[in-house]
Structure 1
């Protein structure tokens, strides 16, 4: 299976003060939809599972229907009576980068996760503030720990936003604990700059990440992608893309890496010692996912992406 653990929202996207689109979103959710549109079509025997919590309301119905339409299982979605599903407002700037404001139900109970039977070789994705927030962390950590014990490959996307800097003193330990639970850690240059005061990926990997997790991906938006593992370091240029929206670009990059791990049949042991030639199979593939997302207002790859690019 490929399992995502995280928040699900309805993104209402504005540009120049006007609404442009309304689509289901959430960092891990976006990745799972991209995987549903690729793995779900090319490898239908591999279940794509999203573990999340929503309200039993109109927004929740939209989300559930969208998941089913895109080959993502709803069996591990907790639908709660009497609460409202989360809505976010995403404001695009002149570079088509987004800033967010979230509207959550303050009465919603803490995330409880759910019962998943993990297996060796499963791929598990988690991250963002969801993985360190006090209302969602404990259940998320329990699921990830269970997956790790079962032999699943754990992928952690740090995805730490400027708006959470005031929380850093109380959450930095959680971030590092998440890294220690993981087989692959992905962070943007902004993430590591906020957390460690430097965007020098070599320095941050050597002093902070590698003692916790030997495999690290640092993305730099339209710049390069730097990768580190026990077996290699490599740098990849990023294709120049005329963007419509960058929402979901990093999320679909994550999906592309997971797709590549599945496609290449990489084991948990292999992930810990990826060589340069392995990264040459994974990163360009992930970059295709990311570039495709930037060309539309959607948060995920096109429905026919697997026909055009894979």
Structure 2
């Protein structure tokens, strides 16, 4: 059975509307993706770290209840688990404040060595560009690539990290060069490459990476670049929260690759029909989570796909 390995921070997400807290949920981009995949019946393992505290224990229980393998989550005792405050604007987009308790401390994450050919490694966000973490991350990614795993990278780079761009851009480019699929938003590429559209983003990426590009522009559609360029409209909705949309989009890509039997050897030659099916699935998944505060697919929703 093919397996998905996700790599990322675990946090407790606290949602605010105005100044009022309205919800609290286990979160973190790749935790969100993992939970959706677990609910879909995909074999998935989250590679991360958590404190030995009430929040950490709560998150572990939640993962296990949702069929996510938590055996690759390392536990630390020198500080507490991380929090993320998500302040929702009128369009339900989130402005984040992160409370990272391990700032300046070495990561205790350890990487598994059982990744196999055509397994999927899904990673990104700020953890993937932390200098002290890359000493362990890069050898793992290179080993996975050598074994024939499919690597999906989502930079998920946000404006609050812009002062660090000159320092971390080489790491982002290195991650993209190792990836088989790069999924990025218009916001990502505007910040990273000063490009204003999908074509510009693809031209920038193709200078140093052969990866298939999936470019999302919120309500303005999705573009995919294989050997050809494809564009897909996005139905308009009134979201409750967009926090988990990109994470669920990533989960949909991984789910499609496994459920449709797409191996690494045929990835760059996907037919128009398969590309369309992948994107339509990803749009449906991501819009579903926009209709509530959960950042992952609901248990009722996934019944259609299992």
Which band: TM-score by shorter chain? over 0.9
User: Could you tell me how far 1:303 is from its partner in structure 2?
Assistant: 1.6
Say if 2:132 is the partner of 1:135: yes
Structure 2 counterparts to residues 61-210 of structure 1, below 5 A: 61-105=57-101, 106=103, 108-209=105-206
Q: Secondary structure at the match of 1:254?
A: helix
SS of the residue corresponding to residue 219 of structure 2 reads coil
Distance 1:182 1:113, change over 3 A: same
Select between 5-14 and 31-40 the one with higher mean Cα deviation: 31-40
Q: How far is the alpha carbon of 1:15 from its aligned partner?
A: 0.6
Residue 8 (structure 2) aligned to one of 6, 9, 21: 6
Deviating beyond 6 angstroms after TM superposition, the runs of 4 or more aligned structure 1 residues are none
Q: Is the aligned partner of 1:36 residue 2:38?
A: yes
Partner of 1:19: 21
* Residue 39 of structure 1: how far off its partner (Å): 2.8
Equivalent in 195, 218, 222 of residue 219 of structure 2: 222
CA contact (8 A) 1:14 1:20 kept: yes
Residues 111 and 136 in structure 1, CA contact (< 8 A), matched pair in contact too: no
Structure 1: segments with no counterpart, 5+ residues:
41-46
1:238-281 CA-partner distances (Å, limit 9, x unpaired)? 11122000011000001011111111100101112223222011
Picking from 270, 285, 288, the partner of 2:284 is 288
Q: 1:248 to 1:210 in 2, by over 3 A?
A: farther
TM-score of the aligned structures, taking structure 2 as reference length: 0.95
Any stretches of 5+ residues in structure 2 without a counterpart?
A: none
CA distance in 2, matches of 1:143, 1:24: 26
Distance 2:276 2:14 in 1: 36
Contact 2:106 2:133 in 1 (8 A): no
User: 1:72-114 CA distances to partner (integer Å, 9 max, x unpaired)?
Assistant: 0011000112321001111001110001111122464324332
Map 1:40-51; keep pairs closer than 5 Å. Answer: 40=42, 47-51=43-47
- Cα RMSD, aligned residues only: 1.4
Q: Is the Cα contact below 8 Å between 1:113 and 1:143 reproduced in 2?
A: no
Distance 1:12 1:207, change over 3 A: closer
CA contact (8 A) 2:52 2:77 kept: yes
Other structure's SS at 1:65 match:
helix
- Note if contact 1:179-1:209 (Cα within 8 Å) is conserved in structure 2: no
